[in-house]
Amino acid sequence: MIKFGTDGWRAVIAEDFTFENVKKVAQSYVKFMKKKNKQSRIIVGYDTRFLSLRFAQTFTGVLCANGFKVRIFNQPLPTPCLCFGIKKYRFDGGIMITASHNPPEFNGIKIKTSQAAPASPKDTREVERLLGKERIKYIPYEEAERKELVKDIRLKKPYLSFLKSYIKFSSISKSKYRVLHDAMYGTGDSLLEEFFRNTSVRVTSFRKEKNPSFGGINPEPIPENILDTIKIMQNGKYDICLITDGDADRIGAVTPGGRFLNPGWILSLLLIHLVKNRGERGAVVKTISNSSLIEKIARDYGLNLYETPVGFKHIAEIMQKEDVLIGGEESGGIGFKGYIPERDGLLSGLLLLELMVYEDKSINEIIKEVEKKYGKFFYHRIDLYYPQNLKLKLFKKLSQNPFKKILGIKVVDIKDFDGIKFILQDGSWLLFRFSGTEPKLRIYCETDSQRKLSKILGFGKEFALGLK
């Protein structure tokens, strides 16, 4: 079954994600693009996953057979690098073969528009609707290459050059920071190391090798996947650790001493930096699952705030219509004004370094100052493999008989535009929603203490697992 979720189509390799199904999606994409009367100059990119290059070449074979002009990556590179290339060289769209942060057995397809944004839900529904509507045209990649219907495109250098122009590179490069970069075996590999080559910044790349099994972890920057990284950071050798996911469009961080800095915190710090230090203004966009700290800071600075369902495509839609300064998901995808309506893990990390330079303080000192001003925010998400037959039952029960109180704290508001979110009188909240990329129930919580966080999450987990 081919079904697009919050960020493209993802499926298990050799089950649903097969060469034939990739051809089917490619032909549907061709028909979709032709209906839009696009000139059809397309970039095709791929990550470090098992068979990603072969799947990219297969997709390219369908595009070439249908008369599209195609440029393909000459090496695995980040998804934001693809989007940068679409915008800089004015392509009509892009295809990225990646399953992002999913487990190693998955692969996937992300569709990017001529604006370098994720395809909208309306567009992916149309691609789904067109599946199997016309005969697949295909020529082998080697033949397309021989006939010069496809050429490679080298985006690494111009992409890194742009990142240097976006940040205050000269100041950061003199900082003598010791940076650990955990690439999680993904497309971030040694890019940060290369970026700061011949400067005073010392970057150590960790898990930069190509490893399609991702060392037995999911390439998602959350605590359970970075236990070794946290141990390294506990020795105080590095000023910060920056973590990028499988296709390097998401960011995570660990501070000296081993504190995991969740994406809500990262977005909050970058929001403060953009307004306070860079003097920028604009609206703020956050997903329903992201931290309330973001809302508090936006309100403090007098900025408009938009809240969307999970999935960066919803944020991107607003970024293309409104003057948005920053937008981000709880999963670590953050986009910025004056760039592309898409996430970029490397740029997010570089802006964290820029923040440290502007403030002339350690990341831990900056966090303490923010906590002193805005209070403490403790956030966590747990994922449960959840039987399909219980999904409807869970949400029916939560909708028809919503909690009035949670652990004795009154529920003062309920949001149900993506899952069901219970907002409590003391500012805590609990969210139940199903993943759009994996067969999982996600339970999110944020509150003002670690003890309360564990208790509320335990309450949510017990309720979900108690259904029969």
pLDDT digits (tens, 9 = 90+) for 238-251: 999 999 999 999 99
Structure tokens of 460? Answer: 């949510």
pLDDT at position 323 is 98
pLDDT at position 37 is 75
pLDDT digits (tens, 9 = 90+) for 372-413: 999 999 999 999 999 888 888 999 999 999 999 999 999 999
What Rg do the C-alpha atoms of the chain give, in angstroms? 22
pLDDT digits (tens, 9 = 90+) for 337-379: 999 999 999 999 999 999 999 999 999 999 999 999 999 999 9
| Nearest one of 441, 337, 338, 448 to 394, comparing CA atoms | 441
Domains and CATH numbers, the chain: 4-154 (3.40.120.10), 156-258 (3.40.120.10), 262-343 (3.40.120.10), 378-465 (3.30.310.50)
Q: Do strands 178-182 and 240-244 pair parallel, antiparallel, or not at all (unpaired)? A: parallel
The residue assigned the tokens 């240097």 is 164
pLDDT at position 438 is 76
Q: What is the average pLDDT across 195-205?
A: 98
pLDDT digits (tens, 9 = 90+) for 130-163: 999 999 999 999 999 999 999 999 999 999 999 9
pLDDT above 80 for 63: yes
For 344, phi then psi, to 5°, come to -150, 110
pLDDT at position 41 is 96
pTM here?
Answer: 0.95
pLDDT at position 1 is 86
The H or E element that residue 433 is part of is strand 429-434
